[in-house]
Structure 1
Amino acid sequence: MSLFRRTHMSPLSRPRALSPRWWPLAPALMVTAALHAQAVQQRFDIPPGPLEQVLARFAQAADVPLALQSGKLQGQHSPGLAGSYSVQAGFDALLAGSGYRIGKTASGYVLVPASEAATPSAATTPAASGSLPAIQISASADPGEQRWTARDSASTTKTATPLIEVPQSISVVTAERIAAMGATTARDALGYTPGVNISPYGSDSRYDWINLRGFDAYSPGFYLDGLPLRNANSFAVWRTENYGIEQLAVLRGPASVLYGQAGPGGVVNVVSKLPSADAPRELQVQLGSDRRRQVGADIGGAIDADGRLLYRVIGVVRDAELPAGGMKNDRLYLAPSLVWKISAATSLTLQAALLRDQGGVYTRTRPLVGSLVPTAIGTTIPSELYTGNPHFDHFSQDQELFGYRLAHRFDERFAFTQSARVGHMSTDYRAVQTPRFATLNAANPNDPVNFQNLTRNLFGSRESATMFSIDNQLQADFSTGAVRHTVLAGVDYQRSRFDAVSFSGGSAPLLNIAAPSYPNGPFVVPAPYSDNRAVLTQTGIYLQDQIKWNNGWEVTLGGRHDSASSTVDNRLDGSRTSSTDRKFTRRAAVLYHAANGLAPYLSYTESFNPTATVNPLTNQSFGPETGKQTEVGLRYQPPGTNDLYSAALFDLKRQNYISYDANFMPTQKGEIAVRGLELEAVTQPMAALRLTAAYSYTPRAVVTASSRPAEIGKQAAAVLLHQFSVWGDHRLGNGVRLGLGARYVSATSGNGGGTPVKVPGYTLLDGLLGYDFARWSLALNLRNLTDKRYLTNCDTTASMCYYGDQRSVLATASYRW
């Protein structure tokens, strides 16, 4: 794989509106365009082992096909390979003194005796000559397999580190898996990932709410190609489109050393589809539940004959409805990108994305009494009841993203990368919400009339957001004796501004449970309770060293200092609130990568997240929340395969969060402790069968310190004791594909840990029926195949429960050329 294909690049050039003060420490962009061309090289870190296995690993890392004759290299050992090499130079170094060399044929690389001619013909290759069958080792040999699994990810180290060598829990969900499972949202795509709760608030058309290891992961937000999609605990939340995603990387546990402020549960990095010379061109049509009609296109390739200019254009047009109310669920998405290989050592990627959403609001929120438990007269609210109002409910969002990534390798030791992005978003949201029983006869609480109607209030917010982010990285690869170093030094900066005018309260017409009707009013809209402008900034300086010995030992050390500030202008009363937090976070890990594919590790990581809450005693903002985690894990990748098996035990704490005493006075005494086990397998046990399985066991997830003693020993947010999922995708010889998945979660006591009865566990089934022929691929996906009725969670403080998604059917026809 070339340097340019290995790097996930995000977007474009410096915007005219940006002040120069937003470009601290950013070197000049145009200087590198004039640097002289160098030989294309890659950084390799191949551990020692039997020579045949080391060659196989090198071929996989280089993304080239290799044919080996089994047994030819028996008994020969290799010290591995570390440093920057071209493909041919890497093979030459590995085979030095072995009596063999690598030859090049039209179909790839082959092992030949050192005395043979430099370029063996097809007639003299080992596969044609001989006595022993050739073993094909190639990342390209089975494109489907490669898209099903991922070999490396920059999401945990910001360097091209093989997943087997990542000393922290990470799961990578590829585009192939997203499509096979029929996932149309990011949260659906993560349904088979350990440690992830994709339904903390049930079915919701607005956002991809998820929890990681028991903590919210939607604030401060996802990452896109390594740069933040910053949220501000408001309703302007950046959205992504699954058709434009190459990978979803889920890093579990604190990650502030590389990403700055973040929650203790981890981060989600969305990796975009970008240009490549061999990317398939595709047209796609979808029909599905709720009048879904969607057309997608993914077109790209080389612009010039030399392949120095590569382009890709991804587009989606969707015309659909939400599951109730006849409300729209329409989308327009357009994502063009361009890669310019300026020289053999320098590349520039430009990327933009436009998204237009027009729709209503669909949630499945119900009163706790009447859903989890019957009312006083034994009745419940039908799960299919729509509690909003299509005449009032509305959600529209427009967003534009524009950015670039510049990558340059100075020599075999030093490389520089700069990524930057600007964005704008506007959101118009309003909804009839918070259904509760209307008490029509207060004198007799058990009168059936008190359980026949729902009262609801109104909520709305008109918001806009702008953002700018930049990340400068200098990487140095060098050796000191038998020790190899990959040192990463970086400076990043982000600035986001959020404007919001929000209202809450008022009233809507009563909703009769037995005979629901949805008149166009009267709606009593209250005055705004908030009219704010918030400006959030963060500047971080980080340093990381990945240290590797030839015997397989690896140590990762990292540290980062952040300065994060916020300024909130209240336009209702003219006040301003400002705060600045400075925090240093650490990371340390040790890993042993054995020649047999086992890789045990031990790691320690930290996080921080500023809080805007003001201490009433000092009139100053409280300090930031912090998180820390110790994790011990084991990965296994059988040599010569892309299969990956992972196990991790973790002890995670969220500390210094704001809790409130009985008089609602805030103090910074809160602590939550989470301990658990996570298992994951992504494998292809046979050529036509692909599997992914995940299991999470979380025996401890409780409040250990709080200003309110009654909270101690309970769960702040519902954390699943057991969570298990498995998906199998089998391709028959006649072109038919069959897939089946199961997702199980155990019972909980809800948010706050105090529901009157347990929120029941449930098992959901998902299915796939597909057929591939010529250039066509047809698929029929069913999620929640049995249309199971289930509650995903309840909240004892709000006295609300949340129903999960109903069955959905999606038919997809794709044509590739």
Structure 2
Amino acid sequence: MNSRISPAVPRPSLTLRRLSVLVLTAATLAATAVPDSAHAQASTASANKRYDIPAGPLDATLNRFALTAGVLLPFQPADAQGLNSPGLRGEFSVGEGFNRLLAGTGLRAVPRGGNEYRLENAAAPDISRLPTVQVAGDVVEDARGRVEGFVAQRTASGSKTDTPIVEIPQTINVVTADEVAARGAISLSQALRYTPGVSNRGYTESYMLADETTSRGFSPSPQYLDGSYLPYAGSLGGASQIEPYSLERIEVLKGPASVLYGQNQPGGIVNMVTKKPTDTPVREVKLGLGSYGRVNGALDVGGVINEDRSLLYRLVAVANTGDQQIDATKGQRLFIAPSLTWRPSAATSITAYLQLQRDDAVQDYQALPHIGSLLPGPGGQRISRDFFGGDPNYNDFYREQQILGVDWSHRFSDSLQFRQGLRFVNVNDRYKGFYLSAFASGAGGQSDYSRALRTKIDWQQHNTVLSLDNNLEWRSASGPVQHTVLAGVDYRRFDRRYDGYNAYSVTAIDLYNPRYDLATADPVLTTNWHDTVDQVGFYLQDQMRWRDLILTVGGRHDWAGIHNRDQFANTQTEQNHSAFTGRAGLTWLAGGGWAPYVSYSESFVPIVGTDFYGSTFKPTTGEQIELGVKFQPPGTRALASFSVFDIRQKNLTTTDYAHPGFSVQEGEVRSQGAELEIKARVFDNIDVIAAVSRADVRTTKSNNAASLNKQAVFSPPWSASLWANYRLPDGALKGLDIGLGARWTGSKYGDSGNTFRTPAYTVFDAALRYDLGEINAGWRGAELTLNVQNLFDKEYISNCNYSLVATTARNARWRQG
């Protein structure tokens, strides 16, 4: 529904970084404890086996390694008491595996002949005499933690277990914190601009109040924070907006995900992973200036509190203010997020965190009408791209957002672990403004395309979500088959309160010469809702590995209770739904980094309401078949994925023409397409991101013949993007990073009837970063960065408002089941 032309937005900032000597020393020790290079270790020797052993107590990791490797390692428990191992993930020989598991412990495994080894004390290395060795491709990465660079190798979103991305039988796109910083993204929508198959759900690219995305043609894509559901209630208001600077990574799981997360749209979910306390000291301060008087600052500090390293902390804070592209619009944010981790033992970890956020803004969210933007208006005029359709003396927005979370994990043994995540999210906001509803009437009753009637709104919303997820992960073996079994139960309560004040068809505004001193009627209360949704789900998943084959099978049963109170009409509706969803996928680790896969997955979403006969609607269901291949060359920081998919969503409501005013569940939408994404570090100083997507989304069943087989308008059928970041390794400009990106959006239909198209467009982005330590050693750790969006100030139309054809009163709110 929205169209706007994005400006060039330079965002220079000064970033102060200080790396601890302890971090550099630890990295050197870990690298030099293994005499072979990473490339040699990743070779496909016949004696190599693949291991997936998480970090933990040394005795447990050694026992698990010996069992998997088929070797004997007798030792006394006292030999490993109080020692921890970083874990082992990847393909290694027995000797290489022992070297990594024992790195930094002062121990080594010595062969005794046959398949038996013994533990011995190893002389501690003299760190001052050891050369620095770069280890590539086998860095132990935490699926719920930071990623160095642009290429993530592991994920927890696709299975709720720490699993290599290549082993998940669905597409997963990961945007890391380093990528967000390199491109200067200041919202989730901007962070996902280079992700294939994701678009901004028809809103303008200048829209900053919320991050409403479309994945594979379905919207809205549900959002999760550390695996917990975030509130969404549609359009303007009630939706949380997560500060991107507070995130370690953003993960997009494509396709139905109900087997792990409950009710969801079939296009996929977006899971954001927050910054948490870490052993590695963090010291970062950012100060910046930007277009339209934007001023921003950010702080990220953390580390160890006490000597036994059982208490860790992290503090993230953001403050910004400034105007925006559209006339009279502006925004301001205050954000702070403290967190604390307590590790009473090597087996137990408890993390508590809090987010407090306040947003104040004057916004204009809507698209321009297609007559006057895509097509010339009266006298060949075009509406200014800075046009403000509201009233500077009336438009207003505020949002208060609080998130409280507690994560607890306990490892009973090397094979059994319990995790619990508790979240409470509170969002309270109010939006005052206007939206264009229809062209005004001119002489002779003809439409006056120079003026538009508006609806004046005052929408107040208060949404909360309480969620609890408990799961038990058990790793075992039955003969030659290795199992990772996940069993869990989760609960979600979504409470929504909404007061909608509306004044329909108020005084028209001149689209080419707007005046804001014209009197308009005050909005009156027309909608007053109090809705609650309770969901309980039980899920079971088994990731089974036999040699190079991984079979992932999961099932889930949900019960959802919906209680809707229309307090304005004094009516109540209660509905109960239950649904079973499943997923099955097969991945083949074919060698050389190749991993082809095939999968089937399901989703469901409850629908509120009844048909003419009083029967409640069944939940909509989604089904996806996906075939793909992932490629992760051994010894490199690179990951490529290609997939083709077919998604069908059934039981959609459509007009019941036999009984006007009612609906029947005979609608169906189908999305077919393909996606390609490549992320790689090349020659140690070049980072590349490339993506191409195709999605043909059509209504395949409907009582409305005019909509049959028409393409959806929320997402473009074709899109592509390319970003490259180059670090000058030497010379006079050593320390300079240069980034350049291009985003291409293909032509798409501008209305649901497919009567006109918006043209394709390409937008360029750029970034510069310079390490001031190359000028003066005393400035080491300070960086100067510059980010520019829409480098050449290209004028383009991302979306059009095509619906200014009737004066029918309407309330653009979506009521969610």
Q: Is the 8 A contact 1:725 1:742 kept in 2?
A: yes
Partner letter of residue 793 of structure 1? N
**Residue of structure 2 in register with 1:413 after alignment:** 415
Residue number in structure 2 paired with 1:261: 263
For 2:337 and 2:685, locate their aligned partners in 1 and report how far apart those are by CA, in whole Å. 33
| 1:628 lines up with 2:623 in the alignment | yes
User: 64-73 vs 171-180, which deviates more?
Assistant: 64-73
Per the alignment, in what secondary structure is the counterpart of residue 525 of structure 2?
A: coil
Cα deviation digits, residues 8-45 of structure 1 (max 9, x gap): xxxxxxxxxxxxxxxxxxxxxxxxxxxxxxxxxxxxxx
Q: 1:107 to 1:545 in 2, by over 3 A?
A: closer
**Gap change, CA 1:451 and 1:754, over 3 Å in 2:** same
From the superposition, tell whether residues 611 and 135 of structure 1 become closer, same or farther in structure 2 (CA, over 3 Å).
closer
Match in the other structure for 2:16? none
Letter of the 1:462 partner, please give it.
Q
Cα-to-partner distance string for 1:736-788 (whole Å, 9 max, x where unaligned): 01000000011011341423x31101101000011013111211000111112
1:628 and 1:652 in contact (8 A); partners too: yes
Deviation at 1:291, TM superposition (A): 1.4
The verdict on how the C-alpha distance between 1:538 and 1:117 changes in structure 2, with shifts beyond 3 A counting, is closer
Name the CA distance, whole Å, in 2 between partners of 1:615 and 1:740: 53
2:219 aligned with 1:216, yes or no? yes
Residue in 2 aligned with 1:312? 314
SS of 1:290's equivalent in the other structure is helix
Q: Does the alignment pair 1:205 with 2:203?
A: no
Equivalent residues of 1:367, 1:435 under 8 A apart = no
Q: Of 555, 562, 569, which aligns to 1:566?
A: 562
> Would the aligned equivalents of 1:262 and 1:607 in 2 still touch at CA under 8 Å?
yes
Could you tell me how far apart the structure 2 residues matched to 1:665 and 1:794 are?
29
Alignment of 1:357-756 (within 5 A): 357-375=359-377, 378-434=380-436, 436-442=438-444, 445=446, 450-506=448-504, 508-519=506-517, 521-549=518-546, 551-618=547-614, 620-662=615-657, 663-698=660-695, 700-733=696-729, 734-755=734-755
Tell me the secondary structure at the aligned position of residue 790 of structure 1. coil
Indicate yes or no: 2:50 matched with 1:80: yes
Query: How far, CA to CA, are the matches of 2:402 and 2:631 in structure 1?
Result: 41
With over 3 angstroms needed to count, the CA separation of the structure-2 counterparts of 1:213 and 1:113, relative to structure 1, is: same
Deviation at 1:279, TM superposition (A): 4.3
Shift of residue 82 of structure 1?
5.5
Helix, strand or coil for the counterpart of 1:164?
A: helix
Q: Following the alignment from structure 2 to structure 1, what is the Cα–Cα distance between the partners of residues 424 and 761?
A: 42
* 1:383 CA displacement: 2.6
- Cα gap change, 1:541/1:63 in structure 2, threshold over 3 Å: closer, same or farther? farther
Over 3 Å counting, the alpha-carbon distance change for 1:103 and 1:487 in structure 2 is closer
Decide whether the 8 Å contact of 2:147 with 2:177 is kept in 1.
Answer: no
Aligned to 2:809: none
One-letter amino acid of the counterpart of residue 342, structure 1? P
* C-alpha deviation, 1:709, in angstroms: 1.7
CA distance in 1 between counterparts of 2:725 and 2:183 reads 9
Q: Secondary structure at the match of 1:668?
A: strand
- Say which of 334, 345, 348 aligns to 1:346: 348
Q: Secondary structure at the match of 2:148?
A: helix
SS in structure 2 opposite 1:737?
strand
**Helix, strand or coil for the counterpart of 2:180?**
helix
TM-score (norm 1): 0.83
State whether residues 238 and 428 of structure 2, in contact with CA within 8 Å, keep that contact through their aligned partners in structure 1: yes
- Percent identical residues: 33
Q: Distance in 1 between matches of 2:492 and 2:125?
A: 55
Secondary structure, in 3 states, of the residue corresponding to 1:493?
A: strand
1:68 partner amino acid:
D
Alpha-carbon contact 2:147-2:249 (below 8 Å) kept: no
What is the RMSD of the two structures over their aligned residues, measured on CA atoms? Answer: 3.2
The 8 Å contact of residues 99 and 113 in structure 1, kept in 2 or not, is answered as no
CA-CA distance at 1:108 after TM superposition: 9.9
Whether the aligned pair in 1 keeps the contact of 2:713 and 2:748 (CA below 8 Å) is no
After superposition, where does 1:127-276 map in structure 2 within 5 Å?
Answer: 139=139, 146-198=148-200, 200-202=202-204, 203-218=206-221, 221-233=222-234, 235-276=237-278
The amino acid across from 2:793 in the alignment is D
1:173–1:189 CA contact under 8 A, matched in 2: yes
Determine helix, strand or coil for the equivalent of 2:618: coil
| Alignment match, 1:24 | none
CA deviation profile, 1:30-72 (whole Å, cap 9, x unmatched): xxxxxxxxxxxxxxxxxxxxxxxxxxxxx99x99974415769
1:119 aligns with 2:88: no
Contact 1:290 1:321 in 2 (8 A): yes
Q: Following the alignment from structure 1 to structure 2, what is the Cα–Cα distance between the partners of residues 370 and 462?
A: 32
Name the SS for the 1:438 alignment partner: strand
8 Å contact 1:103–1:119 — kept in the other structure? Answer: no
Q: State the alpha-carbon separation in 1 of the partners of residues 441 and 788 from structure 2.
A: 41
Deviations, residues 112-160 of structure 1 (Å, cap 9, x unaligned): 985998425658999889xxx997665289x998232212111010000
Whole-angstrom CA distance in 2 between matches of 1:128 and 1:580: 65
2:787 to 768, 776, 781: 781
Question: Could you tell me how far 1:798 is from its partner in structure 2?
Answer: 5.6
In the other structure, the counterpart of 2:762 is 763
CA distances 1:353-379 after superposition (whole Å, capped 9, x unpaired): 001011111225212222222346544
SS in 1 for 2:282: coil
Q: Which moved more, 1:96-105 or 1:659-668?
A: 96-105
Q: 1:424 to 1:117 in 2, by over 3 A?
A: closer
Conserved 8 A contact 1:67-1:111: no
Q: Give the residue type in structure 2 aligned to 1:77.
A: A
Show CA shifts across 1:440-477 (max 9, x none): 3235x48xxx3433332212211112221100101111
Q: Does residue 268 of structure 2 align to residue 284 of structure 1? A: no
Q: Which runs of 5+ in 2 are unaligned?
A: 1-26, 73-92, 113-118, 774-779, 807-817
The aligned counterpart of 1:55 is none
- One-letter identity of the residue aligned with 1:629: Q
Rounded to whole Å, the distance in 2 between the matches of 1:145 and 1:66 is 22
Q: C-alpha deviations, 1:208-227, integer Å up to 9, x for none?
A: 12110001134xx3100001
- Would the alpha carbon gap of residues 74 and 747 (structure 1) be closer, same or farther in structure 2, given more than 3 Å must change? closer
* Aligned length in residues: 726
Which residue of the partner structure matches residue 77 of structure 2?
none
Q: Deviations over 1:320-366 (max 9, x none)?
A: 22323434411111111111112111110101100101111122521
CA contact (8 A) 1:715 1:751 kept: no
Residue identity in the other structure for 2:553: L
Task: Tell me: CA distance 1:453–1:126, structure 2 relative to 1, closer, same or farther (3 Å).
Answer: same
Letter in 2 for 1:119: A
CA offset at residue 796 of structure 1?
4.7
Q: Which runs of 5+ in 1 are unaligned?
A: 1-58, 801-817
SS at match of 1:717: coil
**1:740/1:766 contact within 8 Å kept:** yes
Between 172-181 and 282-291, the greater mean CA deviation after superposition: 282-291
Q: Tell me the secondary structure at the aligned position of residue 354 of structure 2.
A: strand
How far 1:510 sits from its partner (Å)? 3.8
Alignment partners' CA distance in 2, 1:544 and 1:343: 28
8 Å Cα contact 1:369/1:375 also seen in 2: yes
Distance 1:738 1:91, change over 3 A: farther
